[in-house]
């Protein structure tokens, strides 16, 4: 049975519009579900909102109610916080290129310092220059954004992105790995076959969340929903119909 509502959560430097194409494709394959693309704190229409992932989970739960939550990267970490901190609002989880955090204290501290430095750089060089640098990195250098995704990134502000890094970056968040066994909502874990790091993390997520379903998207890296949107939509729609 297809659930009533699917809320899609974008990644860092994107905004809600970056998920519009995936939402539309899922609607075509699973027409009985309402899809909502939401802006995360520090992004898009919520660029002035300064929230960590726990507070962000509360805000999303109050704004959108009970739903299946699909999250990509930062959005996936936010979805996991909903499952852990607001489980009564979670009918299911679809996690795309997602981690549960860094469980080594020293590594997490180093990442927090790196995120702080990156936040400072965003504020120093401005949005356009930062996006050029960000998209030239190894996770995204092969990616060509559509005009709609480019516009979704330009909807952000340097202050909003910097705040998101400081409050909701991987270095700032608590590790959720010890708490994943408490999740009892249906869960789909999806990674791009070419994204070696997150493919391994996806395997770990699947073994840590009871009953989680695993899928890989061929010919895709970290941004699988942008690189292979049709295949990603088919995987999500099939799971919604059969598991959520």
Q: What are 156-197's pLDDT values in tens digits? A: 999 999 999 999 999 999 999 999 999 999 999 999 999 999
**Cα–Cα distance measured from residue 164 to residue 166, given in angstroms and rounded to the nearest whole number:** 6
Whether the pLDDT of residue 1 is over 60: the answer is: no
Which pLDDT value is given to residue 141? 80
Both tokens assigned to 207: 């073994």
> Has residue 3 got a pLDDT over 80?
no
DSSP state of 94: E
How does residue 243 score in pLDDT terms, banded at 50, 70 and 90?
low
pLDDT over 90 (residue 137) = no
- The C-alpha angle with vertex 110 and arms to 46 and 161, in degrees rounded to 5, equals 15
Lowest mean pLDDT among 20-24, 69-73, 140-144, 151-155: 140-144
Residues 6+ apart with CB under 8 A from 77: 53, 71, 98, 99, 100, 101, 168, 170, 173
What's the chain's average pLDDT?
A: 95
User: What is the pLDDT, as a whole number, of residue 206?
Assistant: 98
Tell me the two tokens of residue 160: 């909003």
Antiparallel, parallel or unpaired: β 90-96 and 213-217 = unpaired
Q: 71-101, pLDDT tens digit by residue? A: 999 999 999 999 999 999 999 999 999 999 9
Residue 32: pLDDT above 90? no
Residues 5-242, CATH architecture: 3-Layer(aba) Sandwich (3.40)
What is this structure's pTM?
A: 0.96
Q: pLDDT class for 105, splitting at 50, 70, 90?
A: very high
Residue 27 to residue 24: CA distance in whole angstroms: 5
Q: Where does the chain show beta strands of DSSP type E?
A: 5-9, 34-38, 67-72, 90-96, 187-192, 213-217
| Residue 142: pLDDT over 90 | no
- The 8-class DSSP code of residue 6 comes to E
């Amino acid at each position: 049975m297809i659930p009533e509502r699917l809320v899609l959560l974008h990644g860092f430097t994107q905004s809600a519009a970056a998920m519009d194409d995936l939402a539309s494709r899922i609607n075509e394959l699973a027409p009985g579900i309402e899809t909502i693309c939401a802006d995360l704190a520090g992004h898009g229409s919520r660029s002035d909102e300064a929230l960590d992932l726990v507070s962000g989970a509360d805000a999303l739960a109050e704004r959108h109610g009970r739903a299946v939550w699909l999250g990509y990267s930062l959005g996936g970490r936010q979805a996991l916080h909903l499952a852990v901190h607001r489980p009564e609002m979670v009918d299911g989880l679809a996690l795309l290129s997602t981690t549960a955090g860094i469980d080594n204290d020293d590594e997490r501290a180093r990442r927090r310092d790196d995120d702080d430095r990156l936040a400072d750089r965003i504020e120093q060089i401005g949005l356009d220059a930062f996006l050029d640098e960000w998209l030239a990195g190894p996770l995204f250098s092969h990616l060509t954004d559509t005009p709609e995704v480019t516009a979704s990134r330009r909807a952000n502000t340097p202050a909003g992105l910097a705040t998101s890094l400081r409050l909701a970056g991987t270095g700032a968040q608590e590790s959720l790995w010890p708490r994943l066994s408490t999740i009892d909502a249906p869960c789909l874990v999806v990674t791009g076959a070419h994204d070696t790091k997150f493919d391994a993390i996806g395997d770990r997520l699947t073994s840590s969340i009871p009953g989680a379903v695993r899928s890989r998207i061929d010919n895709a890296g970290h941004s699988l929903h942008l690189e292979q949107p049709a295949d990603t939509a088919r995987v999500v729609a099939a799971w919604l119909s059969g598991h959520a």
